[in-house]
C-alpha cells in the first residue's frame, strides 16, 4: 500500500519537474500533498495526515494560486543548464540516503524511539492527564514548551509577512507624494 | 465567480458544516485525531472558501482585518498566559496540574486553553497571509 503511494508520489514529482505551466505545477503540488496525507493515514499518524491535507493540499495551494495570479503562468526556461545546483542537490540527497542507512529498520520495536520515553507516555498519559489521545497530551502537556515555541514561530511568520507586504505598500504611497 | 448561483448556494450550505467540523476537531481533539493547529487551519480554510466565492471585500466585512490581526497575537498570549496562571497558582511555568483541585482535571483544563491559543494564532496567521496576498493586485490598481 505505502509502496504504491510512494511510487505515485515519485511520478508526481517527475511530472512537476517536467511541467512548465505553473498552474499545473500548483495542482500537482496539491495532489502530492494528498498522497502524502494518505501515506500518513496508512502509517496510522492521523493527526499529521489531517495537518498535511489541510495545510499542504488546502491552504498552501490557495496561497500559491494567489501568488500565481500576481505573476506569469509559465516558467521561464533557463539559458544555462544549472549544473552546480544539480550537483549540490545530488550530493545532499546522497548524504541523506547515506545517513538513513544508520537508522533502525522500519517499525523495529527495539528502536531507541520506542524504548526511551514512549512506554511511559503510553502507559501513564491517560492516568496523568485524563486525555485518551496521547498525541494531544504529549503535544500540549509533556512537550508544552515545544508547542509554545511552535506557536511563536507561526506568530513570527505571520508578523514577518505583515511587515514585508505592508512596508512595500506604504513606500509606494510615499513615492507618489 | 460571484455570479455563479450553484457555487454560491453550495458554499452557503457547506461553510457552516466546515466551521462545525473545525469546532469538532478542536474540542474532540482530546479523544480523537485533531487539535488546535488542525482546527485553526480548517477555520481559516472555510473563510478562504467564502472569499473565493463571494470576493475579498465581502469577506473583509464579515471577518474584519483588525479581528484577524488581534487573533495573530492573542493566541500566543493565551498560551503564554496559561503558563503564567500556573506560576500564580504555585506551580512552575506551564504546569497544568495546579489549575484545578484535582490534578487530572487541571491537566485537562490546561490542555484545553493551550489548544484554544494554538487555534486562534494559526487561523489568524493563515487568514492574514491570505488577505495580504489576495489584496495586493487590488491595492495596486487603486494606488
As a whole number of angstroms, the distance between CA A168 and CA A158 comes to: 16
User: For residue A4, is it within any domain?
Assistant: yes
Q: Is the pLDDT reported for residue A46 higher than 50? A: yes
User: For residue A119, is it within any domain?
Assistant: no
Closest residue in A to B26 (Cα) is: A136
Our CA-based measurement puts residue A166 at a distance from the nearest CA of chain B, in whole angstroms, of: 8
Give the pLDDT confidence of B47-97 residue by residue, as tens digits. 999 998 988 899 999 999 999 999 999 999 999 999 899 888 888 888 888
- State residue B142's pLDDT score: 45
Q: B68 near B127, Cβ under 8 Å?
A: yes
User: For residue A59, is it within any domain?
Assistant: yes
Q: How confident is the model at residue B143 (pLDDT cuts 50, 70, 90)?
A: very low
Q: Is A44 in CB contact (< 8 Å) with chain B?
A: no
- State residue A98's pLDDT score: 95
Range of the domain at B93: 5-142
Smallest Cβ–Cβ distance between A155 and the set B105, B121, B133 belongs to B121
Place of cell 492516568: A127
**Structural domain count of chain B:** 1
Which ranges constitute the DSSP H helices of chain A?
2-18, 22-42, 46-51, 60-70, 83-100, 112-115, 118-129, 134-137, 144-176
User: For residue A2, is it within any domain?
Assistant: yes
Smallest Cβ–Cβ distance between B29 and the set A70, A129, A136 belongs to A136
Q: B54 near B2, Cβ under 8 Å?
A: yes
Which cell goes with A34?
Answer: 494528498
Stretch 13-32 of chain A: residues touching chain B, C-beta under 8 Å: none
Closest residue in B to A139 (Cα) is: B111
Q: In 3D, which of A86, A89, A93, A12 has the Cα closest to residue A56? A: A12
* Angle of helix B103-134 versus helix A144-176 axis, rounded to 10: 20
Closest residue in A to B28 (Cα) is: A133
- State residue A20's pLDDT score: 85
Q: Is A81 in CB contact (< 8 Å) with chain B?
A: no
How big is the A-B interface in CB pairs under 8 Å?
140
Mutation for B interface: A136, A168, A173, most B CBs within 10 A: A136
- State residue B13's pLDDT score: 93
Range of the domain at A45: 1-77
Q: B126 near A157, Cβ under 8 Å?
A: no
Give the pLDDT confidence of A109-134 residue by residue, as tens digits. 888 888 888 888 888 888 887 788 88
Our CA-based measurement puts residue A103 at a distance from the nearest CA of chain B, in whole angstroms, of: 28
Q: In chain A, how long is the greatest CA-to-CA distance?
A: 69
**Structural domain count of chain A:** 1
Cβ neighbours of B143 in A, within 8 Å: 169, 172-173, 176
Q: B58 near B15, Cβ under 8 Å?
A: no
Query: If you average pLDDT over every residue of chain A, what do you get?
Result: 86
Amino acid at each position: 500500500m505505502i509502496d504504491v503511494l510512494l511510487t505515485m508520489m515519485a511520478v508526481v514529482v517527475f511530472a512537476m519537474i517536467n511541467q512548465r505551466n505553473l498552474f499545473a505545477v500548483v495542482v500537482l503540488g496539491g495532489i502530492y500533498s494528498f498522497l502524502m496525507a494518505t501515506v500518513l493515514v496508512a502509517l496510522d499518524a492521523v493527526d499529521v495526515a489531517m495537518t498535511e491535507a489541510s495545510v499542504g493540499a488546502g491552504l498552501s495551494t490557495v496561497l500559491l494560486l494567489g501568488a500565481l495570479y500576481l505573476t506569469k503562468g509559465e516558467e521561464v526556461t533557463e539559458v544555462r543548464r544549472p549544473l552546480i545546483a544539480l550537483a549540490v542537490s545530488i550530493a545532499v540527497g546522497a548524504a541523506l540516503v547515506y545517513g538513513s542507512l544508520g537508522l533502525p529498520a522500519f517499525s523495529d520495536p527495539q528502536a531507541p524511539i520506542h524504548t526511551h520515553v514512549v512506554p511511559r507516555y503510553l502507559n501513564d498519559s491517560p492516568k496523568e492527564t485524563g486525555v485518551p489521545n496521547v498525541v494531544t497530551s504529549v503535544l500540549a502537556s509533556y512537550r508544552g514548551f515545544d508547542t509554545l515555541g511552535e506557536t511563536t514561530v507561526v506568530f513570527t511568520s505571520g508578523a514577518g509577512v505583515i511587515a514585508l507586504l505592508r512596508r512595500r505598500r506604504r513606500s509606494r504611497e510615499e513615492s507618489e507624494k | 465567480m460571484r455570479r455563479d448561483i450553484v457555487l454560491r448556494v453550495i458554499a452557503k450550505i457547506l461553510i457552516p458544516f466546515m466551521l462545525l467540523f473545525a469546532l469538532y476537531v478542536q474540542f474532540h481533539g482530546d479523544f480523537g485525531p485533531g487539535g488546535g493547529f488542525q482546527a485553526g487551519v480548517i477555520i481559516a480554510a472555510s473563510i478562504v472558501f467564502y472569499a473565493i466565492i463571494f470576493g475579498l471585500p465581502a469577506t473583509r466585512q464579515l471577518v474584519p482585518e483588525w479581528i484577524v490581526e488581534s487573533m495573530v497575537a492573542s493566541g500566543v498570549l493565551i498560551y503564554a498566559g496559561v503558563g503564567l496562571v500556573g506560576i500564580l497558582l504555585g506551580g512552575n511555568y506551564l504546569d497544568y496540574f495546579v489549575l484545578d483541585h484535582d490534578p487530572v482535571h487541571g491537566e485537562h483544563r490546561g490542555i484545553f486553553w493551550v489548544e484554544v491559543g494554538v487555534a486562534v494564532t494559526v487561523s489568524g496567521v493563515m487568514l492574514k497571509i491570505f488577505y495580504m496576498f489576495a489584496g495586493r493586485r487590488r491595492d495596486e490598481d487603486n494606488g
